[in-house]
């Protein structure tokens, strides 16, 4: 995703979390909670969320914040989450033994999240 930063406007910064062990549908529910929110508000929502994956999304959000502050010199208090989108990653296939010598397939999906923050004029 290094090329994504080159295609963004100069006032936007990206951070990506890959190989998150959760289905994309469940991760998208958490991503929907922070879309359009300020960094402080999104951090509070994720810190007090009961979803297991919220801690990993909070790490990615903090990475976006630190990327903006350290690499681009932006003010952290004026940042807002403009995009948070989810994508599929690999799926581990496993088998579970069943009756009469049969087997059922178990799919363990991984997903990734990309968070884009932008400096606002508030």
Q: Where are the domains of the chain?
A: 10-119
pLDDT of residue 1: 52
Q: Is 26 exposed, middle or buried (0-12, 13-18, 19+ CB in 10 A)?
A: middle
pLDDT of residue 9: 87
pLDDT of residue 87: 96
pLDDT of residue 94: 97
pLDDT of residue 122: 63
pLDDT of residue 103: 97
pLDDT of residue 51: 96
User: Two tokens at 60?
Assistant: 């990615």
pLDDT of residue 82: 96
Q: Tens digit of pLDDT per residue, the chain (122 long)?
A: 557 777 888 889 999 999 999 999 999 999 999 999 999 999 999 999 999 999 999 999 999 999 999 999 999 999 999 999 999 999 999 999 999 999 999 999 999 999 999 998 76
| Residue whose token pair is 């879309």 | 35
Phi, psi for residue 51 in degrees, rounded to 5: -70, 140
Domain 10-119 in CATH 3.90.470.10: yes
pLDDT of residue 89: 95
Any bridge partners for residue 117, and if so which?
13, 81
Which helix (H) or strand (E) segment holds residue 2: the answer is helix 2-7
Any bridge partners for residue 103, and if so which?
97
- Give CA–CA dist 100/103, Å, rounded: 9
- Give CA–CA dist 70/52, Å, rounded: 29
Phi, psi for residue 15 in degrees, rounded to 5: -145, 140
pLDDT of residue 8: 85
């Amino acid at each position: 995703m290094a090329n994504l930063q080159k295609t963004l406007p100069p006032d936007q910064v990206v951070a990506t979390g890959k190989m998150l062990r959760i289905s994309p549908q469940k991760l998208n529910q958490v991503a929907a909670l922070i879309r359009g929110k300020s960094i402080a508000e999104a951090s509070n929502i994720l810190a007090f969320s009961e979803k297991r994956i919220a801690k990993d999304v909070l790490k990615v959000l903090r990475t976006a914040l630190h990327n903006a502050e350290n690499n681009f010199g932006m003010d952290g208090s004026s940042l807002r989450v403009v995009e948070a989108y989810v994508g599929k990653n690999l799926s581990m296939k496993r088998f579970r033994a069943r009756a009469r010598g049969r087997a059922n397939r178990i799919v363990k999906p991984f997903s990734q999240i990309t968070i884009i923050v932008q400096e606002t004029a508030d």
